[in-house]
Amino acid sequence: MLLKLVMQSLDDDQALEIISIPLAGKSSIADYMVIASGRSSRQVTAMAQKLAERIKVATGHITRIEGLPSADWVLLDAGDIIVHLFRPEVRSFYNLERMWGFGDENDSPVLQSVVS
């Protein structure tokens, strides 16, 4: 349910290249990592704030947010889901998808768009 909420919220806010990476068996930090881009720092900030509010309304839990002052890379810790929001050039520099094993042409994250 939380993953669907996160994916839908980012899609509603016109995030770019939304992906979800299952972390089960790879890490104990969360069940999923979601990575998306915004066109500008302003959009990244707005997406992060709206997502945190939507999660609070839906679950009652407060989402921790890091990186809002510059909004080049904003991290949201929603418990079972870690969300990374980037400006495109910052995302390509850090390339988290590759770090988590999804950078080769034969690999791809499980979800690349909103779950219907």
The hierarchical CATH code for the domain 2-99 is 3.30.460.10
Q: What is the pLDDT of residues 24-83, one digit of tens each?
A: 877 888 999 999 999 999 999 999 999 999 999 999 999 999 999 999 999 999 999 999
pLDDT at 91: 94
Alpha-carbon gap, residue 89 to 70, rounded angstroms: 14
pLDDT at 27: 80
Alpha-carbon gap, residue 34 to 75, rounded angstroms: 10
pLDDT at 116: 40
pLDDT at 101: 65
Task: Give the start-to-end residue ranges of the domains of the chain.
Answer: 2-99
pLDDT at 109: 46
CA count, 13 A, side-chain hemisphere, 53: 6
Q: What is the pLDDT of residues 102-114, one digit of tens each?
A: 654 444 444 444 4
